[in-house]
Amino acid sequence: MREADYVRVFRVRGLPVERNVRAVSEESAMPSARARVLYVSDLAYPAKGRRYCDEDIFLTSRLRDEFDIAVCHPLDAAGLMDGFDVVVVRNSGPVLNYQAEYDAFRERAVADDVRVYNELSGKGDMAGKGYLLELTAAGYPVIPTIDRSEDLGRLPDVDTYVVKPKLGADSIGLEFVARERLPELAYGDVLVQPRIDFRYEVSFYFVDRAFQYALYAPHPDRRWALEPYEPTEQDLEFAQRFVDWNDIAYGIQRVDACRAPGGELLLVELEDLNPYLSLDVLAPEAQDAFVASVKTSLRALIGRETVRAVPTGRQGAPR
């Protein structure tokens, strides 16, 4: 930790600052200790088609080669993060289930310049799903999205539409409605999209801004029955646009897309809060490469002198 971090910890704990900082400085002349990581996961969350606990047990076992790691439940993160060099938020479940505690965690982390991985500056699902409106308006290749009844004419004419909460997660609150029902919806807190008869869904996984691997679900009705996918150059250019648009320098991002009937890719969501990684689908060498990238990213974040501020006016929201 930096000297400023120690000063903050000593003040919070009511300890003499000058004397303890001097002691820490003397210790720093000795061989450096391993960085301390607080790893946040809801190991018992019943995710459909996914095993949070297996993935996080695997990843922490590999990160432990280089870092000292403590695993905690998301409800305990705010109270435990002092004294750690970085807080890694992984499979922590939908924050809708603990919104007040998550907001308090973000507030304290920002106020105390705590390094959080992913960085809290994300513009994707980390800040709610309103970014789909922004990307639609900017002409990005996304499933057309509106949130006002007067914009219904901007959507293609299809039989069924998808309606989901702006602050939804894990398909919570998602429903399918017929076109004739659209004028009856309570607009404001929901997003409306055409239901796409896609060929398959594909996910691109990035560490920082570097592509790592891709997986796809060849059967549309089995979202989490994933297989390795070999992306084309055009596929990678598609996914990279969204990672470059986002405001995360350090972290893991998953770009979810669907292959439309015409062959083009359309963004489904940009998961930048706690994306499930499906590491069990990867070959051992791909797992090794991913873990190495995460270690490098964490070292770089821990070594930063300052923590980037969250943009004013955009507070944290559930994925």
The reply to whether 144-194 and 198-283 are identical in fold is no
Write a three-state SS string for 46-98: CCCCCCHHHHHHHHHHHHCCCCEEEEECHHHHHHHCCCCCEEEECCCCCHHHH
More reliable by pLDDT, 266 or 4: 266
CA distance 238 to 222: 24
For the segment 120-167, what is each residue's pLDDT rounded down to a tens digit?
999 999 998 999 999 999 999 999 999 988 888 889 889 899 998 877
- Record the pTM: 0.84
Q: Are 228 and 217 in contact (CB under 8 A)?
A: no
H or E stretch including 248? Answer: none
For the segment 235-252, what is each residue's pLDDT rounded down to a tens digit?
999 999 999 999 999 999
**Right CATH for 198-283 from 3.30.470.20, 3.60.60.10, 1.20.950.20, 3.40.50.2300:** 3.30.470.20
Q: Where are the alpha helices (DSSP H) in the chain?
A: 3-12, 17-28, 52-63, 77-80, 99-111, 131-137, 233-245, 284-302
Q: Are 16 and 66 in contact (CB under 8 A)?
A: no
At 80 the pLDDT is 96
Number of Cβ atoms within 10 Å of the Cβ of 209: 14
For the segment 38-91, what is each residue's pLDDT rounded down to a tens digit?
999 999 988 887 888 999 999 999 999 999 999 999 999 999 999 899 999 999
Q: Are 161 and 176 in contact (CB under 8 A)?
A: yes
Domain 144-194 has CATH 3.40.30: no
Q: Are 157 and 34 in contact (CB under 8 A)?
A: no
Q: Which fold has domain 3-123+297-302?
A: Rossmann fold (3.40.50)
CA distance 113 to 307: 6
Q: Where are the domains of the chain?
A: 3-123+297-302, 144-194, 198-283
At 14 the pLDDT is 66
For 45, 152, 155, the CA distances from 215, given in Å and listed in that order, are 23, 33, 29
Torsion angle in degrees (nearest 10) through CA of 202, 62, 289, 246 = 50
Is the peptide bond prior to 20 cis by the omega test (within 30 degrees of 0)? no
